[in-house]
C-alpha cells in the first residue's frame, strides 16, 4: 500500500505526465499502471480550478500541475501567485475567458489549509508520522470497476435518498418504512457486500445489512440500540436541579448547552443542475441553505448533516465529557483512586486525602479532549493534500452523469474514452439493483436530481475546499473519542438507578437499562427501557460514527473516509497519551484504551 501511494501521489507531476494519463491505458497494460493513471486523472480532487461548463471536468491539465506544485512547496502564497482560481475564469465554447460577473468574483471560496500538514508538533506524532492506506482505486486488480468503490458510492447516493426519514426508523423495531427497506435491499444486492475484501460493514447473522446495521459504522457497540449516540441527545443535571438528563441541556459551569439544532428545510437539496455543479467546482460561493422556524432534537439524517455543517470540530466530544463528568461517571479503574472523583472516592474506607484535579481529574480530561483536535486536523491535511488528493463524491457522481449524458447523446463534447469505459461500471451496477425493488438507485436519484445522476447535496456549496480522503471530522472524532475512552471506565452502562438518576455506571440491583430517542418529530426526548445495555464504549464509538457518517449523509464523504480516518485519529491520541505518561513520574497508573477495532491498548507510567 505504502509503495503504491508513493508511486501514485508523492511524486511531482508534470503536464506531459498528466496529459498521458488522459490517454487511459488499455486492458493489456499492467493493472497497477491502469489504476495509477485512472486515479491521477479521473479520481483526483480539482475543486477550485477552472472547469469545463459542458463536461464538468478540469479544463486544462496545467492548472492541476501548478496546484500540485503549490502543495509541494508548502507555502500559502504560491496558491495565489501560480494557481489560476476557477472563480476568476469561465469556459466559453471550449476557451478560457476572464469571468466578468461581479457576483461570482466576489467572496470566492479559498482552498482550506493546504499547508497545514507540513508543520511539526512538540507533543504527539508529527502530521507526517501517521498514515493511512490508499483509498479504493477506480479499478480493482482485474482491471474492472472496483466493487468497493461502487458500493461506497451507492451508500452516498442512498443516504441522499433517505435524508429526510426519521432516524428512529434505523432500528429493528418495526418502524422502518418502504423507502429505507428499498435502500437496504439495493445495497444488499451489490457484489461487494458478500465478499467485503476491503473496509467491512456491520451485517446481521445472515451476512446482510438490515435496519439495525445499515449506515452504522464499524466499531464495537455501534449496532446496539438507537442509531444516535445518547451523547447527541441527552444532557445532565444542572447544579440547581432545574433541568435533568431528558431535557437535553448540558451543564457547562453555570451555563447550559442546548442539544436541539436548527431545522434545515426538508426535501430541499442542492447541486442537482449542471450549471450549479460547475459553479461550485469553480469555487464560486453559494447562498446558505434554507431553514424552518425553531429547533428540535436531531431527528433525521438532514438534521445530523446540519450539525456537522457548523460544529466546532471537538464540540460533540467536549459535550460528552461534560455529560459524563456531570453524571459522576467513574474513571478508568487503573487510576480511579488518583482522580479523586471516582468509585474509590465514594467509599470512606478508600477515599484518599488528596485528589488529582489538574492531573487525572476533570480539568485534565476537559483540556486534553479538545487539545488533540488540532493535531488531528494537521495530520489529516497532510493525507488530503500531500498524499491522496481524492475527489469528492459530488465529483464522482458528476462523472457518472457525464457518461449518462454521453450515452443519451445529450453532450457533444468529447470525453476520454476510458472514463466512459470504466465509469460505465457504476451505471450498470446501480441500475441492475432495480431487481431488488421497484426502482434502482439511479432511478431514485433521477427523481430528486432533475433527471440526472448528480448527487443531491445537503449543503449549497457541496463539499469543503479540500480533498475527501481522509476526513477531518472523522480524524478529530477518532482522536477525541480515544481520549474519552482512555480516561473513563468504558465498561459502564447507561441506567436509571434506584434514586431515579441517569448515569453511566456499573450495573447494580435496582438499576434499569434505558435509552433515549427523539420523539414527536424531534420536539422531545422519549425514555424507554431496553434489554441490551448501552455501554460507554459502544456509545462513544457510536458518537464517532454518527459525526463522521453525518458527513456522508450530507454527500461530502465516503465510508472509507470515516473508516480509515478514525483509526488515524486514534493513533494520534495514543501517541500523545504515551508521551504524557512518560512525564508522570510519581504515582503509578494505567490507562486502558479500547480501540476502534476492539483491541485494548494499555498506557502506563511504569
Catalytic residues: 466, 473
Within a 10 A sphere around the Cβ of 319, how many other Cβ atoms? 21
Give the span between the Cα atoms of 555 and 312, in whole angstroms: 19
Question: Phi-psi category of 404—alpha, beta or left, where left has phi over 0 and alpha has psi -120 to 50?
Answer: alpha
Within a 10 A sphere around the Cβ of 347, how many other Cβ atoms? 8
Within a 10 A sphere around the Cβ of 122, how many other Cβ atoms? 6
Residue 385: burial class (beta carbons within 10 Å; 0-12, 13-18, 19+) = buried
Omega into 222 within 30° of 0, i.e. cis?
A: no
Give the span between the Cα atoms of 111 and 405, in whole angstroms: 30
Give the span between the Cα atoms of 466 and 112, in whole angstroms: 6
Residue 424: burial class (beta carbons within 10 Å; 0-12, 13-18, 19+) = middle
Contact 209, 188 (CB under 8 A): yes
Give the span between the Cα atoms of 104 and 85, in whole angstroms: 12
DSSP of 193-249: HHH--SS-----TTS---TTTTT--SSTTTTSS-SS-GGGT-----TTSS--GGGTE
DSSP of 23-40: S---TTS-HHHHHHHHHH
Give the span between the Cα atoms of 33 and 36, in whole angstroms: 5
Three cell numbers written together for 327: 453524571
How far is C-alpha 520 from the geometric centre of its chain's CA atoms? 28
Give the span between the Cα atoms of 310 and 332, in whole angstroms: 32
Give the SS3 label for residue 92: strand
Helix or strand (DSSP H, E) at 495: strand 493-496
Contact 480, 372 (CB under 8 A): yes
Give the span between the Cα atoms of 267 and 301, in whole angstroms: 12
Contact 496, 485 (CB under 8 A): no
Three cell numbers written together for 550: 453525518
Give the span between the Cα atoms of 48 and 65, in whole angstroms: 14
Three cell numbers written together for 365: 480530561
Look at residues 290, 269, 273 and name the one whose alpha carbon lies nearest to residue 164: 269
Beta partners for 251?
256
Beta partners for 377?
none
Tell me the CB-side half-sphere exposure of residue 259, using CA atoms within 13 A.
Answer: 35
Amino acid at each position: 500500500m505504502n509503495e503504491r501511494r508513493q508511486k501514485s501521489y508523492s511524486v511531482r507531476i508534470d503536464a506531459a505526465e498528466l496529459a498521458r494519463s488522459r490517454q487511459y491505458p488499455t486492458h493489456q497494460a499492467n493493472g497497477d499502471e491502469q489504476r495509477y493513471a485512472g486515479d491521477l486523472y479521473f479520481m483526483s480532487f480539482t475543486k477550485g480550478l477552472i472547469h469545463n461548463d459542458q463536461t464538468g471536468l478540469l479544463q486544462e491539465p496545467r492548472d492541476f500541475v501548478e496546484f500540485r506544485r503549490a502543495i509541494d512547496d508548502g507555502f500559502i502564497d504560491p496558491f495565489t501567485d501560480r494557481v489560476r482560481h476557477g472563480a476568476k475564469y469561465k469556459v466559453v465554447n471550449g476557451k478560457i475567458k476572464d469571468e466578468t460577473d461581479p457576483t461570482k468574483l466576489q467572496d470566492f471560496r479559498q482552498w482550506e489549509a493546504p499547508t497545514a500538514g507540513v508543520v511539526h508538533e512538540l507533543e504527539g506524532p508529527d502530521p507526517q508520522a501517521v498514515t493511512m492506506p490508499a483509498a479504493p482505486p477506480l479499478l480493482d486488480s482485474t482491471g474492472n470497476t472496483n466493487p468497493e468503490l461502487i458500493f461506497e458510492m451507492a451508500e452516498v447516493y442512498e443516504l441522499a435518498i433517505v435524508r429526510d426519514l426519521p432516524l428512529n426508523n434505523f432500528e429493528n423495531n418495526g418502524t422502518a418504512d418502504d423507502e429505507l427497506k428499498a435502500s437496504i435491499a439495493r445495497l444488499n444486492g451489490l457484489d461487494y457486500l458478500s465478499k467485503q475484501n476491503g473496509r467491512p460493514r456491520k451485517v446481521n447473522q445472515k451476512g446482510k445489512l438490515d435496519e439495525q446495521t445499515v449506515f452504522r459504522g464499524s466499531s464495537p457497540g455501534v449496532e446496539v440500540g438507537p442509531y444516535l449516540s445518547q451523547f447527541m441527545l441527552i444532557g445532565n443535571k444542572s447544579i440547581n436541579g432545574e433541568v435533568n438528563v431528558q431535557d437535553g441541556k448540558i451543564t457547562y459551569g453555570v451555563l447550559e448547552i442546548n442539544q436541539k439544532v436548527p431545522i434545515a428545510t426538508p426535501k430541499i437539496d442542492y447541486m442537482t443542475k449542471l450549471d450549479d455543479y460547475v459553479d461550485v467546482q469553480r469555487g464560486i460561493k453559494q447562498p446558505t441553505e434554507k431553514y424552518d422556524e425553531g429547533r428540535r432534537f436531531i431527528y433525521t439524517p438532514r438534521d445530523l448533516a446540519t450539525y456537522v455543517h457548523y460544529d466546532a470540530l471537538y464540540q460533540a466530544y467536549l459535550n460528552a465529557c461534560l455529560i459524563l463528568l456531570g453524571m459522576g461517571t467513574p474513571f478508568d479503574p487503573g487510576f480511579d483512586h488518583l482522580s479523586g472523583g471516582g468509585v474509590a472516592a465514594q467509599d470512606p474506607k478508600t477515599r484518599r486525602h488528596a485528589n488529582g484535579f489538574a492531573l487525572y481529574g476533570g480539568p485534565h480530561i476537559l483540556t486534553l479532549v479538545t487539545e488533540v483536535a488540532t493535531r488531528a486536523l494537521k495530520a489529516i491535511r497532510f493525507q488530503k493534500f500531500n498524499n491522496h488528493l481524492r475527489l469528492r463524491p459530488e465529483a464522482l457522481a458528476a462523472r457518472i452523469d457525464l457518461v449518462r449524458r454521453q450515452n443519451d447523446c445529450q453532450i457533444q463534447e468529447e470525453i476520454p474514452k476510458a472514463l466512459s469505459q470504466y465509469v460505465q461500471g457504476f451505471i450498470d451496477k446501480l441500475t441492475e439493483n432495480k431487481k431488488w425493488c421497484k426502482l434502482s438507485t439511479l432511478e431514485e436519484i433521477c427523481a430528486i436530481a432533475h433527471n440526472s445522476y448528480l448527487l443531491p447535496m445537503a449543503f449549497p456549496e457541496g463539499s469543503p475546499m479540500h480533498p475527501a480522503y481522509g476526513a477531518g471530522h472523522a480524524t478529530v472524532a477518532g482522536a477525541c473519542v480515544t481520549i474519552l475512552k482512555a480516561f473513563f471506565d468504558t465498561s459502564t452502562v447507561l441506567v436509571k438507578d434506584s434514586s431515579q438518576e441517569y448515569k453511566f455506571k456499573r450495573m447494580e440491583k435496582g438499576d434499569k437499562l434505558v435509552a433515549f430517542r427523539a420523539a414527536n418529530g424531534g420536539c422531545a426526548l422519549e425514555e424507554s427501557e431496553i434489554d441490551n445495555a448501552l455501554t460507554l464504549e459502544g456509545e462513544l464509538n457510536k458518537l464517532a460514527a454518527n459525526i463522521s457518517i453525518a458527513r456522508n449523509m450530507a454527500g461530502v464523504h465516503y465510508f472509507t473516509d470515516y473508516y480509515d480516518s478514525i483509526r488515524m485519529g486514534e493513533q494520534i491520541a495514543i501517541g500523545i497519551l504515551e508521551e504524557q505518561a512518560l512525564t508522570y513520574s510519581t504515582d503509578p497508573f494505567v490507562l486502558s484504551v479500547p480501540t476502534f477495532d476492539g483491541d485494548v491498548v494499555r498506557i502506563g507510567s511504569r
